[in-house]
Chain A
């Protein structure tokens, strides 16, 4: 790229900010390297495209529990672990056990949970999630999940992009690429980070990047709080006509550059489109995320209360926004759970798991239960996949006396709605260390989500640097056992 075009890009960028156009940094950043990529259609890469087969689901709400909660203390009841509490990990479980973090392998550790079976499915849920427990008959628990990596960054990348290093597209980007938009006035792939701490952004924009796909397919991150989008309003000194005229000029310049000087430059095309999307969003987006029209009963259902210090307020706000985005046909909403305050960092309970999970569970329990109930009552759960997932689980052996280490070998993910059959599928071993049946890798989870959206993960391909790439790399099997 020439220096002159860089300068021009900078000029256009600053001009856009200057006129108050919405900055869709999520669309444009994310570290995308898309030199060799060509959009699906030059005219409109976001045009709606037919699925491979009839879909069961229209939207996905991806509940990313960043930092990794302990399945063993929430969904995967292990009486044997309780019985063996305080004893060393038996030799039969140690073979080929690679531990990569510093804590080593402590004694087996059971937290003082009380467990109960709920609903017709009889799913076990601990006392840490009393509200979610009332929703188990809507949920398919995948109890034999496993992944690779044992660090947050690597496993988060694998969960979201099927790669162990940055550069691959997020699942939401593949969905956007495969289906296009169902609402041209809103982003198709929205990210809602919440909370504080290092996990508040879920390990950064690489997990919602479009990777080698054109940049227009990247996730658009909204800010938590009462102002999710900055610069949404047109400055008072700029008239509507002036703004439209400026954008028309920008569009002409960008089209010229795109068609004549840099054909196939998807970053430029994405930027040009972002201006138009931002313009349309000035009218549609504020209403889409404005909760003032929601009833008090709905807010109560999610756990949104007036006090700013409420443990559930921010997360509940994000989930209620997610429901409103689903109503407006946004296809993929990635909600990231950070910590509600500075007392902890995230779900990453290497120590003081009792304190950590008490805080984190209190934050998400009621909002998620409220979301499921709300979607169901509005008839939206049938066509919306709600996915609880994390980069891995936590070990049955203790760490630092009162915490748990990372566990990529066996943990629980769950899916509700969108044509998924409630129940439990798969299992870990007697102490919850390794998945032993119904094994579901992250590739399989992605293949299943795509399948419910009407996309065959083997046919959704993109040619990048001469190689035909797909969302699940070469792996991935649809978990047919959980499909209704």
Chain B
């Protein structure tokens, strides 16, 4: 039955789970009290604005939003580098910077298909990092 296939993922699934567990446990051991929430809030707003700008083919706004996101992720990359032992967060931040830069360039040349596809990748990158490191808002 299909359900059994989900439950019994085999050795590969177990190894993947252990990897995820390791990341998750690592995230809970990082002191994030000095994290600048304002930077993240600005990025959050810019990601929403960028979504709309791309949907409405507003190249100028898209470039501006992508720039804000790229700068914020650069700050996050440096923050996690200073923290140490969070290579995954550094990698995700850097990846996000590159994606944001691509979106800005694509929007600037009116290549909105590329920009939209890259935007999806950017949001997934944000999500990977948030799942691992971001405490929920209370």
Please list the residues of chain A having a beta carbon within 8 angstroms of any beta carbon in chain B.
Answer: 92-93, 95-100, 119-123, 137, 140, 146-151, 164, 408-409, 421-425, 427, 429, 434, 436-437, 439, 441, 458, 461, 463, 466-470, 473-475, 477, 481-482, 484
Task: Give the residues in chain B near A477, CB-CB below 8 Å.
Answer: 124, 127
Q: Are A408 and B138 in contact (CB under 8 A)?
A: yes
Query: Given A137-B1, A474-B48: A96 and B24 within 8 A (CB)?
Result: no
Could you tell me the distance in whole angstroms from the C-beta of B6 to the nearest C-beta in chain A? Answer: 3
Whether, in the assembled complex, B137 has its beta carbon less than 8 Å from a beta carbon of chain A, the answer is yes
Could you tell me the distance in whole angstroms from the C-beta of B18 to the nearest C-beta in chain A? Answer: 9
B135 contact from A98, A147, A461, A484, Cβ within 8 A: A98
Q: Are A423 and B7 in contact (CB under 8 A)?
A: yes
B127 contact from A408, A475, A482, Cβ within 8 A: A475
18 contacts between A and B (CB under 8 A): A93-B28, A95-B29, A95-B30, A96-B28, A119-B3, A120-B4, A121-B6, A122-B7, A150-B138, A408-B136, A421-B2, A421-B3, A423-B5, A429-B21, A434-B28, A436-B21, A469-B52, A484-B2
Q: Count the B residues whose beta carbon is within 8 Å of the partner chain — how many?
A: 36
Task: Give the residues in chain B near A140, CB-CB below 8 Å.
Answer: 3, 6
Could you tell me the distance in whole angstroms from the C-beta of A13 to the nearest C-beta in chain B? Answer: 36
Query: Given A98-B138, A149-B136, A437-B21: A92 and B28 within 8 A (CB)?
Result: yes
Contact flags (1/0) for B108-138 with A, using CB distance below 8 Å?
Answer: 0000000000001001100100010001111
Q: Are A147 and B25 in contact (CB under 8 A)?
A: no
Contact flags (1/0) for B61-80 with A, using CB distance below 8 Å?
Answer: 00000000000000000000
Could you tell me the distance in whole angstroms from the C-beta of B80 to the nearest C-beta in chain A? Answer: 15
Q: Are B137 and A474 in contact (CB under 8 A)?
A: no
Q: Are B29 and A92 in contact (CB under 8 A)?
A: yes
Could you tell me the distance in whole angstroms from the C-beta of A424 to the nearest C-beta in chain B? Answer: 5
Please list the residues of chain B having a beta carbon within 8 angstroms of any beta carbon in chain A.
Answer: 1-7, 16-17, 20-21, 24-25, 27-32, 47-52, 55-56, 120, 123-124, 127, 131, 135-138
Please report the C-alpha to C-alpha distance between residue A423 and residue B9 in the assembled complex, in whole angstroms.
12
A97-B28, A121-B1 known; 13 new pairs, CB 8 Å cut-off, are: A96-B30, A98-B136, A120-B4, A150-B136, A164-B137, A422-B2, A423-B7, A458-B120, A468-B56, A469-B52, A473-B48, A474-B48, A484-B2
Please report the C-alpha to C-alpha distance between residue A76 and residue B137 in the assembled complex, in whole angstroms.
24
Interchain pairs with CB closer than 8 A, number: 111
A148 contact from B50, B123, B127, B137, Cβ within 8 A: B137
Query: Given A120-B1, A121-B4, A436-B24: A467 and B138 within 8 A (CB)?
Result: no
Please report the C-alpha to C-alpha distance between residue A458 and residue B54 in the assembled complex, in whole angstroms.
12
Q: Are B49 and A467 in contact (CB under 8 A)?
A: yes
Q: Are B7 and A424 in contact (CB under 8 A)?
A: yes
B20 contact from A122, A408, A436, A484, Cβ within 8 A: A436
Q: Are B138 and A468 in contact (CB under 8 A)?
A: no
Could you tell me the distance in whole angstroms from the C-beta of B104 to the nearest C-beta in chain A? Answer: 17
Task: Give the residues in chain B near A422, CB-CB below 8 Å.
Answer: 1-3
Task: Give the residues in chain B near A147, CB-CB below 8 Å.
Answer: 136
Please report the C-alpha to C-alpha distance between residue A441 and residue B3 in the assembled complex, in whole angstroms.
21
Closest residue of chain A to B33 (Cβ to Cβ) is: A96
Closest residue of chain B to A137 (Cβ to Cβ) is: B3
Could you tell me the distance in whole angstroms from the C-beta of B27 to the nearest C-beta in chain A? Answer: 8
Could you tell me the distance in whole angstroms from the C-beta of B119 to the nearest C-beta in chain A? Answer: 9
